Structure 1
């Protein structure tokens, strides 16, 4: 099996500037992760390995780490489904790098937190469902990709499915006006009478199913922030002796960042190694929030320490600063998290 370090060095690192500046989508690299066997769940899901892969990728490029998170989220939906077709036919191809997956659950996660209404509506048919509506932003999409959706069938029922991007009636429009992460293959998705056969249905009762998938959904996001934080600390240490050591007087210092990073990392891998992930929802939310704030602090500190070099448009510190702001606004956003943690 090709090592992760080699894959990153050869297939990701040379393209980071293009990802940031030209919205290049690292599809080949993402598929290589699966082809190398890092996502195989034949003998059970290895959360620790998958979390480590996201962290290592995010140290080099959090945009691509985010794409990997999208893919892992799509795996989570199918891994927890009782649909044999999805588990036996689609899941192996998603895990081995033949296909890639997206999430499509930003709006539903906000719905379940009481922040939004569902954008998609589903009508039951004798063969499955017909779905209509629009999702403003779904990432990690492409011609042979699948992504998850949740649609309201009635006031008392919501269904979940995974949908291929080439489904009839589905229109994708690229979104490239973001401050960063434009290489994330993000699209708005319009559903016009899209037929969803039973083979694509993940769950007919999402209100209970969501409890099974949301812990992993959040778990896989935490290493995004760890990767950005560690890379930012590295940027700070690169310039510690410049200009007569005046960086020593700045309020954000690498040692304090490193201490908090190690605390969070230890807690994360303890949760990932455990067998009771479903019971750790509150702990995951707290860890996710702490990670987002730490990544933002570290990226800001890196900009201060780097000075003018960091202010260049496509410098690594400025890229991480933009990536850290994206993490603050990735569902669940920090305000979303703050609200959920206040609810008893």
Structure 2
């Protein structure tokens, strides 16, 4: 499988990176091919085996293009929602399609994760109807969406109940407005989602108790993000190494050198892959949060160092170092953001 992935990265993703970054091209076919090539199948594998393979997949793709790796993270989050659900329809009918390259998924849980941390009100509300729920409200941004995509949402039913559902993008009453005004990652197929009395049948409902269910899915939600930073950091280290002898070797006088970055990356990566084998990630929640925060800080440090080592060559808009710089700022603001992480680490057990 390693050779297959290397071939996909070299021959099918690398030629698209500039187009993804500069022209907001969405790498849909590449993402689907990950499924058709068997990289997302959970059939016959333990949860730990699946997690190890998919975390490595995110890391390897992030070395080449973090936009594409982020899209994969969105899809993996959607897979997590269904894999841990008790809904037989979603697990039997939709999960195989999401794993074998027939369908793609998004998350839709940025606002709910902030809600559970006490940062925002919940933006979606639901009313019980015959055979399902009717959902209304607005989500400002959901990524990895398209005509045949699905995504998870959480909506409040009165004051005491929250439900979680899996929503098809082509459902009646759902309006998508594409957003491409970001500093980077505009190829991530990000949309504002307006719910105007959208009917969600019961067989699309992941759980009627989202408050409890979020605690089951949140470790993987965060876990799959960490290799985004690891991949970008590793790519920055390679980029720094390539220019170490330019201009008479004057980069040796810069404050941050590759040896320091390598020394900091190794234990962070080792800790991530050790946690892959944990029997219950929920018991390592605070450790995951700290690891995620450490990954943000190291990624920021690495991309800034790379810009300094590259000099004027890195200052070009379409250069790889400047792309990774913009990618790192997205990583800082990806839910849970740096502020969000700091609050959770210091303020109790909320997400």
Judge same fold: TM > 0.5, yes or no. yes
> Which residue of structure 2 lines up, in the alignment, with residue 15 of structure 1?
16
Q: How far apart, CA to CA, are the structure 2 residues paired with 1:265 and 1:172?
A: 37
Q: How far apart, CA to CA, are the structure 2 residues paired with 1:5 and 1:237?
A: 21
Q: 1:156 is matched with which residue: 160, 174, 177?
A: 160
3-state SS in 2 of match to 1:173: strand
Q: How far apart, CA to CA, are the structure 1 residues paired with 2:241 and 2:310?
A: 10
Q: How far apart, CA to CA, are the structure 1 residues paired with 2:319 and 2:346?
A: 38
Provide, for residues 282-312 of structure 1, a one-character-per-residue CA deviation record: whole Å limited to 9, x for no partner. Answer: 1100000000111111000000000000000
After TM superposition, the structure 1 stretch with the greater mean CA deviation from structure 2, 176-185 or 5-14, is: 5-14
Aligned positions of 1:1-344 closer than 5 A:
3-43=4-44, 44-45=46-47, 46-344=50-348
Q: How far apart, CA to CA, are the structure 2 residues paired with 1:154 and 1:41?
A: 36
Q: How far apart, CA to CA, are the structure 2 residues paired with 1:242 and 1:7?
A: 32
Q: How far apart, CA to CA, are the structure 1 residues paired with 2:261 and 2:159?
A: 47
Deviation, structure 1 residue 273: 2.1
Q: How far apart, CA to CA, are the structure 2 residues paired with 1:197 and 1:134?
A: 19
Q: How far apart, CA to CA, are the structure 2 residues paired with 1:339 and 1:314?
A: 35
3-state SS in 2 of match to 1:188: strand
Structure 1 unaligned residues grouped into runs of 5+: none
4+ runs of 1 displaced by more than 6 Å? none
3-state SS in 2 of match to 1:3: helix
Provide, for residues 55-114 of structure 1, a one-character-per-residue CA deviation record: whole Å limited to 9, x for no partner. Answer: 000000000000000000000001111000000000110011100000000000000001
Q: How far apart, CA to CA, are the structure 1 residues paired with 2:217 and 2:40?
A: 17
TM-score after normalising by structure 2 = 0.97
Aligned length, in residue pairs: 344
After TM superposition, the structure 1 stretch with the greater mean CA deviation from structure 2, 80-89 or 271-280, is: 271-280
After TM superposition, the structure 1 stretch with the greater mean CA deviation from structure 2, 39-48 or 196-205, is: 39-48
Q: How far apart, CA to CA, are the structure 1 residues paired with 2:18 and 2:194?
A: 31
Q: How far apart, CA to CA, are the structure 2 residues paired with 1:334 and 1:272?
A: 23
